[in-house]
């Protein structure tokens, strides 16, 4: 049964805190491990200037490392460290989705199966409970697999997602589009599900929406267009724009990062859309000096009421995502600014 008092605020609504993951599994990061920690520390310093940050530390070593990197912010209470079960840093997917239920905060909790049982790590299925416990909020559990990066809402009844992810049999075998829509409407109290098809090439999440289309206002969405003749996602970007416009949305396309490969030469799922919006600022991942600067300029024009901050994320990308994937916001219950 749908909770009639449930409301999932859009990301640009006021936030009381943001959770951030801190790498502790060196085997998952290889040579990028220390550099990724440095990029995350830079991100946390910038974010904590506007929003309190809670860091999920999956080990004692991670706790000590985060303290050493962010001691000044910890000492001013802008950053707090929490040891809780966590496999890796991708809290958007392993953590709960924080929402409002009347005048209370609530943690929406879904089953997590390691992105279709491809990346099963100890602790990931307990991360959501740990975060909800720290926030001291009630959990509302749903008995189906869903990652937070697979959905995006505009706070006006619309939800974006992809068929590649939500209808993938490695998540919820037997789901049809009709069943998925019914479950999403029940879980999030939304009215319309807008479906896209495929996500980015080599995206281990099976096409999460937060890499390809993001709401930045009611019925207003950002996507990307191809950058260069060798852009590996050119056809995907064209299809996304067409489908979004067909759904009646206002569509703005930013330059993509183009062709970015990992150390082995494989195409990496880089996206300028894997940004975090927090208390009137947008933290956008930067992958190079040319295309990322063009994307920053385009985003400034598309979101004039927000300050756009570009920060390096090339090493974070080596782990599979960027700023949105590794965070989870806690919406504020009031308009108070933090």
Q: Would you say residue 337 lies in a domain?
A: no
Candidates 57, 165, 223, 325; catalytic one: 325
Q: Would you say residue 189 lies in a domain?
A: yes
Q: Would you say residue 1 lies in a domain?
A: no
Q: Would you say residue 36 lies in a domain?
A: yes
Q: Would you say residue 336 lies in a domain?
A: no
Q: Would you say residue 114 lies in a domain?
A: yes
Alpha carbon distance 279, 249 (integer Å): 24
- 46: burial class by Cβ within 10 Å (0-12, 13-18, 19+)? middle
Full domain range(s) for residue 177? 6-331
pLDDT for the residue numbered 2 = 62
Taking only the tens place, the pLDDT of each residue in 280-328 is 999 999 999 999 999 999 999 999 999 999 999 999 999 999 999 999 9
* Total structural domains within the chain: 1
Alpha carbon distance 14, 331 (integer Å): 6
Taking only the tens place, the pLDDT of each residue in 221-273 is 999 999 999 999 999 999 999 999 999 999 999 999 999 998 888 999 999 99
Q: Would you say residue 124 lies in a domain?
A: yes
pTM as predicted: 0.96
Instruction: Count Cα atoms within 13 angstroms, Cβ side, for 322.
Output: 25
Taking only the tens place, the pLDDT of each residue in 85-140 is 999 999 999 999 999 999 999 999 999 999 999 999 999 999 999 999 999 999 99
In sequence order, the β-bridge partners of residue 271 are none
The angle subtended at Cα 86 by Cα 201 and Cα 14, nearest 5°, is: 80
Compute CA distances 209 → 1, 19, 112, whole Å: 26, 20, 17
Q: Would you say residue 288 lies in a domain?
A: yes
CATH code of 28's domain:
3.75.10.10
Taking only the tens place, the pLDDT of each residue in 157-209 is 999 999 999 999 999 999 999 999 999 999 999 999 999 999 999 999 999 99
Q: Is 57 a catalytic residue?
A: no
Pairing of strands 15-22, 53-57: parallel
Instruction: Count Cα atoms within 13 angstroms, Cβ side, for 221.
Output: 32
């Amino acid at each position: 049964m749908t909770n009639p008092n449930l409301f999932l605020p859009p990301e640009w609504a006021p936030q009381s805190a943001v959770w951030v993951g801190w790498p502790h599994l060196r085997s998952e990061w290889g040579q990028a491990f220390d550099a990724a920690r440095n990029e995350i520390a830079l991100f946390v310093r910038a974010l904590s200037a506007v929003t309190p940050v809670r860091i999920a530390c999956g080990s004692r070593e991670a706790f000590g490392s985060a303290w050493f990197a962010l001691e000044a912010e910890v000492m001013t209470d802008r950053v707090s460290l929490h040891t809780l079960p966590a496999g890796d840093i991708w809290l958007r997917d392993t953590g709960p989705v924080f929402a409002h239920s009347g005048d209370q905060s609530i943690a929406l909790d879904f089953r997590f199966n390691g992105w279709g049982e491809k990346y099963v790590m100890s602790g990931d299925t307990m991360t959501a409970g740990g975060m909800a416990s720290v926030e001291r909020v009630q959990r509302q559990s749903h008995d189906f697999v869903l990652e937070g990066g697979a959905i995006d809402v505009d706070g006006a009844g619309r939800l974006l997602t992809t068929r590649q992810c939500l209808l993938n049999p490695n998540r919820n075998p037997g789901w049809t589009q009709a069943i998925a829509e019914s479950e999403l409407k029940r879980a999030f109290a939304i009215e319309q599900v807008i479906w896209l098809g495929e996500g980015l090439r080599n995206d281990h999440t099976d096409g999460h929406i937060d890499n390809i289309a993001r709401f930045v206002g009611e019925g207003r969405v950002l996507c990307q267009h191809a950058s260069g003749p060798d852009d590996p996602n050119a056809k995907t970007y064209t299809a996304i724009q067409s489908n979004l416009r067909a759904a009646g949305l206002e569509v703005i396309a930013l330059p993509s990062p183009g062709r970015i490969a990992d150390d082995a030469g494989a195409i990496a799922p880089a996206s300028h859309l894997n940004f975090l919006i927090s208390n009137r600022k947008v933290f956008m991942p930067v992958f190079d000096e040319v295309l990322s600067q063009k994307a920053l300029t385009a985003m400034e024009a598309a979101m004039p009421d927000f300050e756009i901050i570009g920060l390096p994320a090339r090493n974070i990308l080596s782990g599979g995502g960027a700023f949105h994937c590794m965070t989870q916001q806690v919406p504020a219950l009031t308009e108070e600014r933090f």
